[in-house]
Amino acid sequence: MTDQPPSPSPISCYLHPKGGRARDAADFYKQAFAAEEVFTNEAEDGRLMHVHLRINGGSLLMSDEFPEYSQSKVREMGGFTIHLQVDDPDAWWERAVAAGCEIKMPLENQFWGDRYGSLRDPFAVDWSIGGPAKA
């Protein structure tokens, strides 16, 4: 962790896990997706104001809920998937499943040429993993 937050990647996903679980989610993503914690800022009451993770070269940003600062109340997640394009999809897949991700679509060679599958993490976030197909 650094004193100054580094710039995130050109486009980043910013999550607000329900129930003050940003720290739990960050810890899970370290285990499931080899996330590296780049920067964290904690409020006096222990809530996370901001956490910046780096996963496979990209940024994933999160915070706990702060409705007292006009942040919208967290709604049910849905309608999006975070995609990871990786060199070894089987290794990424196995690590994520071992950490506790639920399989939605099995990892298989697909007609478009990738090895691809989709998962759901314990925080109701959908992930897809793609990479080179197996011969």
What tokens were used for 120? Answer: 């759901």
Q: Mean pLDDT, to the nearest integer, of 59-68?
A: 88
Report pLDDT digits (tens) over 79-134: 689 999 999 999 999 999 999 999 999 999 999 999 999 999 999 899 999 999 99
**Domains defined for the chain, CATH in brackets:** 13-69 (3.30.720.100), 81-132 (3.10.180.10)
Using a cut of 0.75, tell me whether the model's pTM lies above it. Answer: yes
pLDDT score at 120: 95
Compute the residue count for the chain: 135
Q: Rounded to an integer, what distance in angstroms lies between the CA atom of residue 101 and that of residue 107?
A: 13
What tokens were used for 46? Answer: 């222990």
Report pLDDT digits (tens) over 6-44: 666 777 888 988 888 999 999 999 999 999 999 999 999
